[in-house]
Structure 1
Amino acid sequence: MAVYVYAVTLSDHPCRVDGVTGVGAHAAPVRVVPAGGLCAVVSDIDEEIRPKRRDVAAHQAVQNRLLADGTPLPLQFGYTAPDDEAVRAVLEEQAGTYRAALERVQGCAEYNVKASRKQDLLLREILDDLPEARRLNEEILAGSQDPRLPLELGRMIADEVELRRSSAAVELVRALVPLGKDHALHTPGGEDFLNLSLLVPFGDEAALVKAHKELARDDDSGVVVRLTGPLPPYSFVA
């Protein structure tokens, strides 16, 4: 029977997964396959696993259970193997690679920081700061029919938005990166201008939480900073 693989841990990880069920319609018990001084956390499956809400939640629940007792090496959703023997073979063949990756994240959790800025406040700030943008906007509002004005104003605002978002991202990165053992920058999505992951040692998260509270205070800039964690260190699995 095929197996779904959630994570790899060192052999001394408690792997307290008794009573935990995994992905799939039949939700088989989660168990451990040891080999090469490592352990793979798996469950049996008899179907093709797709990223349905229930299965994604089950995958994450296993990661969270493991993280409560030490840092696992989490695998992305959907990793499967033909059987236990195949899992053991990979653990033994790749033992050095897995150990190096686990050493990198050992004793740490991932924290994710996303930041966005309220567009209405940003646009108001740009119009207040740039006389030329304000002049163009006033002419348009006064009823000017010149088709060049909206295009010129649009380009000016777009350039300024990008400049100010980039500047805000640099400032946040400069403030937050020293609070982690390692960091990874991801491409922001939607209205976000920053998507930053930090690898933070257990016990050091208080400084990050404090920094987030200070950055999240309303200072009329419209910047919204969100902190999520602790998380399994997906961003730091080489």
Structure 2
Amino acid sequence: MTDTATALGPLYVYGITPAGIRPPRACGVGGAPVRLLAGSGLCAAVSPAPGQIRARRRDLLAHQNVLGELLAEGAVLPMRFAVLSPDQDTLLSQLRTDGPRLAAQLEVVRGCVEMNVKGTPVPDCFTDLVRRDEKLRVLAQRTRRRPDYEANVRLGEALAKAVRREARRAADEVLAGLTPLAVRVVEGPVDDERALSASFLLRADDEDLFRRTLAGQARDLGGRLALSVTGPLPCYSFVETRPATAGR
């Protein structure tokens, strides 16, 4: 039975799962015990909200550990760090209202994991760029013959632009090679420092093939794009949860 303080106080919400799973054994944020709040065929993994939430390493790890246990049980709609519900009744009401939508999303991510891939330009590929690009080659030759500050600046700007261009082309190749392996793909923001940021929703059984494909791309494109992968992760990028929040 839930005590009155727990029922009435704000709750820290970790994620939504189908009903019938085992509660996580890991301690939650602030060392609080985690329980499952069941309603409408769903469960919300919650713990009493601490008085103050900070993105401290131990609490970030606690959040991830709870989600890791939920993911091991099956499908989960993960919440971002520091999502709160004002009280138990509010959260149960939301499970009733959003039940069909949440259940549909659980079906989408069932048996799936998220893999995040990032790619950054390789700044020291100038020699190869100059060899392959006639305009760069001519500009480099002119700068060597008549070196001065303005010429060096022009060459530096041209090289930097070429590095970014090559990185973007390489990023397109990576996406073209990985997208057929994924159920869904969500692309993140890119800029001059990051040419690729994408999250891939994968069937868990396809993770090894995904990693092998990415490793081959990293070897082939290593002179133009440095690749990194993070995962498997809970499927943050592929769910649309709208918990009633008391704050962050």
TM interval, shorter chain, is: 0.7 to 0.9
Counterpart in 1 of 2:3?
none
Counterpart in 1 of 2:61?
57
- Runs of 4+ aligned structure 1 residues displaced above 6 Å come to none
Superposed counterparts of 1:32-181, under 5 Å: 32-121=36-125, 123-141=126-144, 144-145=147-148, 147=150, 149-181=151-183
- Single out whichever of 134-143 and 195-204 deviates more from structure 2: 134-143
Aligned length: 232
- The 3 A distance-change label for structure 1 pair 48 and 97 is farther
- Single out whichever of 193-202 and 171-180 deviates more from structure 2: 193-202
- Counterpart amino acid of residue 55 in structure 1: D
In 2, Cα distance between equivalents of 1:16 and 1:138: 68
Please, what TM-score do these two structures have when normalized by structure 1? 0.88
Tell me the alpha carbon deviations over residues 101-151 of structure 1, each in whole angstroms, 9 at most, x when there is no partner.
Answer: 212211211111222342112x2222222233234334445563362x234
Counterpart in 2 of 1:2?
10
Q: Tell me, which stretches of 5 or more residues in structure 1 are unaligned?
A: none
Q: Please state which structure has a larger fraction of its residues in helix.
A: 2
- The 3 A distance-change label for structure 1 pair 66 and 220 is closer
CA displacement at 1:218 relative to structure 2 = 6.3
- The 3 A distance-change label for structure 1 pair 221 and 49 is same
1:109–1:201 contact (8 Å) kept in structure 2: yes
Please, what TM-score do these two structures have when normalized by structure 2? 0.84
1:71–1:232 contact (8 Å) kept in structure 2: no
User: Aligned Cα RMSD in Å?
Assistant: 2.2
Identity of aligned residues (%): 33
- Counterpart amino acid of residue 212 in structure 1: L
2:40–2:95 contact (8 Å) kept in structure 1: yes
CA displacement at 1:155 relative to structure 2 = 3.8
- The 3 A distance-change label for structure 1 pair 158 and 221 is closer
1:186–1:196 contact (8 Å) kept in structure 2: yes
Tell me the alpha carbon deviations over residues 74-105 of structure 1, each in whole angstroms, 9 at most, x when there is no partner.
Answer: 01111101222221111111112211221221
SS of structure 2 residue aligned to 1:165: helix
CA displacement at 1:182 relative to structure 2 = 0.8
- Counterpart amino acid of residue 32 in structure 1: L
CA displacement at 1:212 relative to structure 2 = 2.1
Q: Tell me, which stretches of 5 or more residues in structure 2 are unaligned?
A: 1-8, 241-248
2:111–2:203 contact (8 Å) kept in structure 1: yes
- Counterpart amino acid of residue 74 in structure 1: P
In 1, Cα distance between equivalents of 2:52 and 2:101: 28
CA displacement at 1:159 relative to structure 2 = 3.1
SS of structure 1 residue aligned to 2:205: coil
CA displacement at 1:54 relative to structure 2 = 1.5
1:11–1:38 contact (8 Å) kept in structure 2: yes
Counterpart in 1 of 2:232?
230
- The 3 A distance-change label for structure 1 pair 40 and 155 is same
